[in-house]
Structure 1
Amino acid sequence: MLGLELATAARKRNSTLYSVFQPLLQLNTGELAGYEALIRSTTNDTPECLFQFARSAGFLYELDVMSMKRSVSAYFAEMFDKNNSPLLFVNIFPSTLLNPSFSMFVCNEKSDST
């Protein structure tokens, strides 16, 4: 039920979350280094507002993990050569890294992808 509270809150705010990918370039060569995954909303909510709302409602971890999961899934769904795709950089809140559930999330996602 990951993100159930978040999905309910997003519906109440009439918001749909989706990922976009910002190209990251090597400054010295101009070559593509990879992409940064960014979360966006169909409403006028900025990412900052979304995460502040999630923090105040008590589900920052759920939003952060859901954002990561959606971003990784969307990114690799768009890649033609999944074995040779550019690096994907994903932002993570320090509190998410420290959450006891995070290591279990990573292990589950890793086993699902193999």
Structure 2
Amino acid sequence: MSIRRVVPNVRVQPEGLARNREFYGLLGFEEVMNQGWIMTLAAPSAPTAQVSFLTEDATGPVVPDMSVEVDDVDAAYAAVRASGAEIVHTLRDEEWGVRRFFVRDPAGRVVNVLGHR
């Protein structure tokens, strides 16, 4: 299994989406995704350099602290379950084209582990 990208997730109030788009635009980031509740900004010269801003999570119980995209989310889920780590949001296919689950890391942070279908 390999990691494709790691994205910090920042919880914001709804008005924070536009403010952060403007602020991080000053540093060269551009909006690459906006679903109303999540907005992702990326560096045009390095598209996997990203940061996401969330007002909520559309189907998850919490806003995860970070997202890790892997090439085999099913293998990641099996490994995490076998380790005994706490699954916060079970493995599922989401309507926006990802398969994902949430797990709590040893420091208590919630990690969204995903793969694109």
Provide the TM-score with structure 2 as the length reference: 0.25
Select the structure that is richer in strand.
Answer: 2
TM-score for both structures, normalised by structure 1: 0.25
Task: Judging by fraction of residues, say which structure has more helix.
Answer: 1
Structure whose CA Rg is larger:
1
